[in-house]
Every structure is written in structure tokens, then in C-alpha cells.
Chains A and B, each alone.
Chain A
């Protein structure tokens, strides 16, 4: 048989119907649902008199809208409450497992899927959320879809897809001390730009990728969409299987499943449509300075100026970004002063992320001109962090310790920046207004965010004592 990539194997394994000149119908193994992109899909089903084909392959949770303050209080925002209530009612009506607000397993959909063992190698996983690419860390084909497609999956358990091209992003060598998965992926986005992956499914390969923990692999795959690629994946290996072993919803015969999963990695000699190679040693801690994740620099560098770019569209983009960000161009990154710090999101709110931030914060105090918050990715992450005493470290340092949710990654709930406020954030998007109208977001790793909270400005984590 012709050597195949991980992507090609998963694609081939899920073909329900393929016909020349048409999109392929693919079977979906896991459909994750949240409150913001599902209400209109369920309504569509009702209007057409359709049911959910495989409710058992669908799980739901409310994450985008929910407050991260005291959960025993009613939700103050009536429109948010209606959307959250609507999800609950839809799940009840269609028989879908729903991790509701007070469920100990509630959390960001891309955190709970893996931690409960729903996410498994070889699956096709979809969700009405672009950061579904996260689940590709397990060697799954996982990507975000629109609400019309959510309805399609609910009704048919399948999706119509056009075959994407494949892109290998290989990172050779070892990351230097202080350089994390977040820095790695921000660096790659900076290199290939925010639309460099458009039309592709990415597979991350190379020694630096293999060495990453599952949490770190999720951070990398999570941000694949910020380079324009809908899906990013990493071949499953012993790290993957050890992470999954013993989790609640993994296959009963785990060893048999591992034997199947071991067939998945890209075959020797398989061809990608495009391959790019990078050296881990070239990567320093990264800080975004603009209004898309590709506008990023090393922490020891300076903010660029429009004249540093040759393409007129790039010059205009950079000028607009600097204006929005309140930067001149030419500043040292470490001179940028901060008002807020957000540690959270589906990118960086897992237990290892919180450990990394707590290690930096321990024994320090948050700068008196910074307001800092930590929002765990799930109820389970929160509980584990509290068992390890991380919450105490954060609270003693002056960080706010919150309930799980998407929170200030997209500021749909009450957690948001005020106009002009500057924030170091472990989230995934620094778009204009993303964390609140007029708010200025700099994306960084959890350790860099914690250090920035304490210093009041960006610091090179490699110099942190």
C-alpha cells in the first residue's frame, strides 16, 4: 500500500460516501457542543422535524458566556442566561450529555473533552468553535465548523468536506530552557503568517514536538487556526497513551485501542503537499505586539515599524495595528507596561499551565498597577490546582482565582478589558476588541504572563529569579 500521512489515514477511515466532483461525506466520531453556536442549529432541526442521529456521540457544556465568579449566584446578564438555559433545554430535548454550570466536570469544551477521555487518536472531532484544532494533539482530525454544519452533524452524524492539502511543520532539536509550547507555536505563526496555513491540514513533527507533554501539544494544535489552518495534528505515541490511560470515557479494552492507534502515525515515505522545517534552538520566548497572532516578536526584540515591511498591505496592517495598540514602533518589548494579566483559555488553562505560572508567582506580589486573574480551564483543573495548593500561591501573590470558563479570552462574560487597558494574556487572539472594546492584548506563555504580572511589564523569563 502507498505510504500515507496520519491525516490521510483518518480521512480514509471515515469516508461514508465519495463521488467525483462532490464533497466527501465523512463520519464524525465526536461532536462537541457549546451554548454560543448551537441554538440556531437545534432550532433548525425542530423546524425541519429532524432528530439528533447519534446523541451518544455528542457532548455539550456551557463555557463561552458564563460568569467565573460565584456559581451559586444567578447569572446577571439576561441574554447570556437565556442562551445557557437554551443549551440546557436543547440537550434535554434531544438526549445529549450536558456538563452544566454546577457539574464538577464543567469547563472549556476543549479542556474537558481530553480530560474526560472523549478525545481519542484517529477520531474525527468537530465543534462549532475554531479552536477545535486543540484535539489534534491526540492524533485526531479535529476542526471548527459553522452553525449550519453543527446542524448537519446533529442530523446526520456526518459532514461534507473538501479534501484539504497537507502541510508538515517540522521542528528539529530541543527547545531552550524557558521556551514553551506557546512560544513555539507563536513563533511558527510569525514565520508562516496568519494565513500561511489556509487550505491545509497541518501535521507537527520533529524532535521538539515529540518531546512535548500532552498539555503542551494541545497548546500547539489549539493555535493552528491562528495560522489559517483548520486542523493541526500530532501523531499519537506513548505520551498520548499514558495521558489517556484510566480516563473516564476511553475504550474499555484500552490495550486493544492502543494497538489500533499505533497504526495511525504517518508512514515512512508518505508525502505532504508542503513541508517546512524549523530549528527549536532559534525560538525565544514570544510576545505579540499587534492585532493578529502573526504580529509577534521575541521578548528580547523591539516592536517593528511599518517601514520594516516591504509589502504595502503589510505596511498598512502594521501601521493600523501599532495605532490600535498604542505603540510607536521601536520600543523594547520589555519596556511595555501592563494594566491587566489574564491566565486562562483553551490555549493555556490546563494544570501544567497553571503549575508553570505558579512556579513563577510563588513568593512574589503582583505589581500594584496590575490587575491579574487566573481562570482554570475546567472544574477538574481547578480542583487539582487547589489540591496542589496552586490557588494559595496565586492568591497570596495577589492574583484573582476564578471558576472555569472561557472568560476574558473573548470577553463574552463580565470579564473584560476597558478601553486602552493593556493586557498580557495566555489566550489565542489579540484581535482588536477581542478582550473588550479598545483593549490591547499581548499573547504570551503562562510563565511570561505571571512574570509580567509581578514586574508590571514584560520580562524575559529566561532572566527570572
Chain B
């Protein structure tokens, strides 16, 4: 798994709540059997007009959004379908950090499996970031997972919370399966005591 220690990048503010994974990556792209290459389909239905041309009003299509890697959104980001294609698409597009007041559980978990850092902040702090992103051109943020702080270049700084185990795995790019298999003897003991045999 990819590791994450610190990241500085251009932020884009998406003033939308309940962004569901159907919007992040619509179903027609879930037929692919690869894990990569989903970035060009990110937010497909929002990014395009009916004639297939780019929607100039869509946040990621604005000229100032070229090269963004930090996404700021409203509450309940990533709700709905469990499709890991959603974090794959965000990551493939270039995002490394997603900031919102809350995330759907499955999506939140899927981010860590793909080297992306989802950061939960209060509604007030997210509001603050929205107004700063509007005020400052070329608005960049830095997320430091070592110190669990998020900051910008204009004096904003806050700490954020992340589960200690997930933080450890992400900092070190640890493979979950490898970690679990360190306890393989315990899995075998569990199976033996529950009458589970190979079949």
C-alpha cells in the first residue's frame, strides 16, 4: 500500500453535501476489471454537459482547479455504494487529501486502503476553509499525518484526529493482509476451536 506522511497541494472547494459514490464514479465505469485508470471518469455526469463537452461550471473544470490534490466538501462525503472505484478514481485523478465534516463509513475506510487521507473537521472549521479557499487565489493546504495537523499558507492551522492504527498503517504503507497473516496461527486456532476445517 502507498504510504502517506505529509502532503501539500492545491485545494478545491466543492460546496456539496452527501456526495455519493455514484456521482464520484458512475456505474458504467464499474465494468472494468482493472484497478487503475479511473481518474478520467471522476464525477463524469457532473463534469460533462449533455452534448459531452466539459461543464465550465463544474468545480474541477475551472481553470484554477488544474493540478488540485486536496478536496474540501460538505458532510456525508462518499455515501452510498461501497464501490472502491470511488477512491481509486479520486486517487488516480490526483487527490491525496479529502476534508469534510463527515464521511460515509465504507468510503472512509476505503480511502486508507489506497494511500489517501480523509480528514474529519467540525462544520465550523470546514466553513472557515471554504471562505479561505474563496478569498485566496492558488489556495494550498498541507496535511501532516506525523503531527496530525492541517494548515494553509495564510495562518490557518488545526489538528485533526485519526485512528491510531490506521495512522500507523498509512504512515508506513503497511499491507493489511500481511499484518493479519502475522496472526495466522490465531486464525488457525479460531478455526480449530470452532470446528472449521479446510473445504
Interface residue ranges, A against B (CB under 8 Å)? 16-17, 21-23, 25, 27, 36-37, 39-40, 43, 48, 50, 53-57, 64-65, 77, 79-80, 82-83, 86, 128-130, 144-149, 151-152, 155-158, 160, 162, 164, 194-195, 198-199, 225-226, 228-230, 292, 313-314, 316-317, 320, 410-412, 419, 429, 431-434, 437-438
Contacts and interface: CB of A to CB of B under 8 A. Distances in A.
A91 to B, nearest CB: 14
Given A129-B81, A317-B17, 17 more contacts: A21-B164, A55-B199, A130-B106, A146-B106, A148-B113, A148-B114, A156-B187, A162-B163, A164-B105, A195-B76, A195-B79, A228-B79, A230-B106, A313-B17, A412-B28, A431-B20, A434-B22
B170 to A, nearest CB: 13
Given A48-B177, A157-B187, A144 B82 contact: yes
A25 B186 contact: yes
Interface in B102-125: 102-106, 109-110, 113-114
Interface string B162-193: 01111000000000110111011011001100
Given A27-B187, A155-B181, A313-B75, A79 B106 contact: no
Interface string B14-40: 011110101100111011111100000
Contacts of B109: 146, 149
A130 B110 CA distance: 13
Given A130-B80, A145-B106, A54 B196 contact: yes
B5 to A, nearest CB: 20
A225 to B, nearest CB: 8
Nearest to B87: A146
B153 interface: no
Contacts of A146: 82-84, 87, 106, 109-110, 113
Contacts of B23: 431-433
A148 B176 contact: yes
A410 B18 contact: no
Contacts of B20: 292, 429, 431
Given A228-B76, A412-B27, A198 B104 contact: yes
A17 B114 contact: no
Interface of B: 15-18, 20, 22-23, 26-28, 30-35, 45, 50, 74-76, 79-84, 87, 102-106, 109-110, 113-114, 163-166, 176-177, 179-181, 183-184, 186-187, 190-191, 194, 196, 198-199
A365 B21 CA distance: 37
A130 B82 contact: yes
Given A144-B106, A195-B104, A429-B80, A83 B31 contact: yes
15 contacts: A22-B165, A27-B190, A27-B191, A36-B30, A130-B80, A146-B87, A157-B191, A160-B176, A162-B163, A195-B102, A198-B103, A228-B79, A313-B75, A433-B45, A437-B45
A147 B23 CA distance: 19
Nearest to B76: A195
A129 B26 contact: no
A21 B196 CA distance: 29
A375 B165 CA distance: 44
| Residue from B83, B105, B164 whose CB has the most chain A CB atoms within 10 Å | B105
Given A27-B187, A431-B20, A37 B75 contact: no
B114 to A, nearest CB: 7
A57 B198 CA distance: 10
A148 B110 contact: yes
Contact of B32 (A27, A54, A56, A79): A79
A158 B180 contact: yes
Contacts of B198: 54, 56
B82 A145 contact: yes
Contacts of A225: 80
Contacts of B33: 39-40, 43, 82-83, 86
A79 B34 CA distance: 12
Contact of B27 (A128, A148, A156, A411): A411
A431 B22 contact: yes
Nearest to B113: A148
Nearest to A164: B105
Contact of A429 (B22, B76, B110, B191): B22
